[in-house]
Amino acid sequence: MKAPQALIVCLCVLTLCLTAIYVTGRLTAPRSGGPAPAGRRPEAVNRKQEAGSRKGPDAGLLPPAPDSPWAVGVASTMTKVFRDEPFRVPVAQQVEISLARHEIEGIQLVVAARSQELRDVAVTMSPLRSASAILPTADVTWNLVGYVETTGERPYWTDKVGFWPDPLLPPKPFSVGKGETQPVWLNVATAPDTPPGLYQGTVTLAPANARPWQVELTVRVWDFTLARTGHLKTLCWMDPGPLLRFYGLEGMDSPGALDLFKRFAELSLRNRLGPGGTLGCGFSWAKPQWPVRKTDSGYDFSLADELLRFGFDRGMNCFLMAVIPNLKRTGWPSYSDAWKADFRGFVTAYARFLHEKGWEKAAHVYNFDEAPRAYWDVVKQNYQMVKAIDPRLRVIQCLNEPEGVRALAGFADTWDVYVQQHEQAGAADRQAAGDEVWWALCLYPKERPNLFVDYPAVDARILGWLAWMHGIAGFEYWSIISWGDENIKGADGHKWPDVPWLTAKFAGDGYLCYPGPERKPLSSVRFENLRDGFEDYEYLWLLRDKLSRLSGATRAEAERLLQIGAPLAESNVVYTDDPAVILERRAAIARLLGE
Residue 35 located in a structural domain: no
| Element of type H or E holding 228 | none
pLDDT at 91: 86
* Residue 497 in this model has a pLDDT that exceeds 50: yes
Same structural domain, 176 and 91: yes
Same structural domain, 329 and 455: yes
pLDDT in tens, 144-193: 999 999 998 899 999 899 999 999 999 999 999 999 999 999 999 999 99
- C-alpha span between 470 and 574 (Å, rounded): 13
Same structural domain, 147 and 278: no
Neighbours of 545 (CB within 10 A): 11
Length of the chain counted residue by residue: 595
Domain count, the chain: 2
Reduce the secondary structure of 505-551 to three states and give it as a string: CCCCCCECCEECHHHCEECEHHHHHHHHHHHHHHHHHHHHHHHHHCC
* Residue 42 in this model has a pLDDT that exceeds 90: no
Rounded mean pLDDT, 24-29: 28
User: Band of the pLDDT at 85, cuts 50, 70, 90?
Assistant: confident
Same structural domain, 250 and 203: no
Same structural domain, 406 and 500: yes
Alpha-carbon distance values, 572 to 108, 285, 421, 538 (Å): 28, 33, 9, 19
pLDDT in tens, 43-58: 333 333 333 344 433 3
Residue 240, CB-side half-sphere exposure with 13 Å CA sphere:
24
User: Band of the pLDDT at 90, cuts 50, 70, 90?
Assistant: confident
Residue 38 located in a structural domain: no
- C-alpha span between 506 and 92 (Å, rounded): 35
Query: What CATH number does the domain containing 176 carry?
Result: 2.60.40.10
- C-alpha span between 132 and 576 (Å, rounded): 39
* Residue 595 in this model has a pLDDT that exceeds 60: yes
Domain boundary among 172, 206, 225: 225
pLDDT at 65: 54
pTM (two decimals): 0.90
Rounded mean pLDDT, 370-379: 97
Which among 226, 266, 220 has a CA at the least distance from the CA of 243? 266
Torsion of CA 77, 78, 82, 86, to 10 degrees: -90
- C-alpha span between 370 and 377 (Å, rounded): 13
- C-alpha span between 129 and 111 (Å, rounded): 25
As a whole number, the mean pLDDT across the chain is 90
Residue 305 located in a structural domain: yes
User: Band of the pLDDT at 27, cuts 50, 70, 90?
Assistant: very low
* Residue 14 in this model has a pLDDT that exceeds 70: no
* Residue 320 in this model has a pLDDT that exceeds 50: yes
Beta bridge partners of residue 74, listed in sequence order = 109
The alpha carbon of 114 is separated from its chain's Cα centroid by a whole number of angstroms, namely 32
DSSP state of 481: B
Q: Give percent above pLDDT 90 in the chain.
A: 85
Strands 94-101 and 514-515: unpaired
Residue 37 located in a structural domain: no
Neighbours of 120 (CB within 10 A): 12
* Residue 62 in this model has a pLDDT that exceeds 60: no
Domain boundary among 182, 200, 225: 225
* Residue 29 in this model has a pLDDT that exceeds 80: no
Domain boundary among 225, 260, 292: 225
- C-alpha span between 591 and 263 (Å, rounded): 35
Question: What residue type is assigned to position 466 of the chain?
Answer: L
Rounded mean pLDDT, 259-280: 98
Same structural domain, 362 and 215: no
- C-alpha span between 321 and 350 (Å, rounded): 8
Residue 554 located in a structural domain: yes
Rounded mean pLDDT, 531-553: 98
- C-alpha span between 592 and 557 (Å, rounded): 9
pLDDT in tens, 91-115: 889 999 999 999 999 999 999 998 9
Same structural domain, 237 and 181: no
pLDDT in tens, 247-259: 999 999 999 999 9
Rounded mean pLDDT, 534-540: 98
Range of the domain at 151: 54-225
User: Band of the pLDDT at 383, cuts 50, 70, 90?
Assistant: very high
Same structural domain, 442 and 312: yes
pLDDT at 68: 81
